[in-house]
Chain A
């Protein structure tokens, strides 16, 4: 069964600190892995997208890593800001005709002053 699992479920950090979110997946056949940021009640916004041949990709203070052998990914946030408070969702694309995206349940991040 295609699944994407994320940890931790929730996280509280102080403004200015770094954090790392984890994602494990059992999706086959694998096409690509994406990280999205979702503010409460809003649609997800893409942060990074990586194919199996890419190990790392950065977008400003966000850096995603991918280990296709162990089927693990991480999202590292540097120098957190209050506006980083949101849910971060790991998404894996299935390599079939429907371009289906399998979403994790997300990590809810709260950045406190």
Chain B
């Protein structure tokens, strides 16, 4: 186990609804990144949070937003859900003092939009 936990593990939502996914980072890690992984594809970078500030964003629309809390846990919020948002959402935590630092992934949240 990596020490990174995500909740919930599975979720079914209706198109147009909003969803919040949660991630608890590994102890001592101050950076959390979120990724979207469609079936059969590699993960795509959504955004990263470092010490409660967004620190980089991928090619995702503004309806994807996030938060990082003082204990470095994080949330991913998606508004106005679309069918194509169905995917495995992964969070990864790391200690961002070095670019060669290891990133540890949670088990993911499987989101299905119907």
Contacts and interface: CB of A to CB of B under 8 A. Distances in A.
Contact of B55 (A41, A51, A97, A103): A97
- Interface size, A (range): 20 to 34
Contacts, number: 72
Given A42-B108, A43-B90, A44-B90, A99 B102 contact: no
A46 to B, nearest CB: 6
- Interface size, B (range): 20 to 34
A96 B56 CA distance: 10
A104 B42 CA distance: 5
A102 B41 CA distance: 12
Contact of B42 (A31, A45, A89): A89
Interface of B: 2, 4, 31, 33, 35, 40-45, 48, 55-58, 88, 90, 92, 94, 96, 99-108, 110
Q: Which 6 A-B pairs have the closest CB atoms?
A: A98-B56, A43-B105, A103-B42, A31-B99, A105-B42, A103-B43
9 contacts: A36-B105, A41-B110, A43-B90, A43-B106, A45-B2, A45-B105, A49-B102, A98-B55, A99-B101
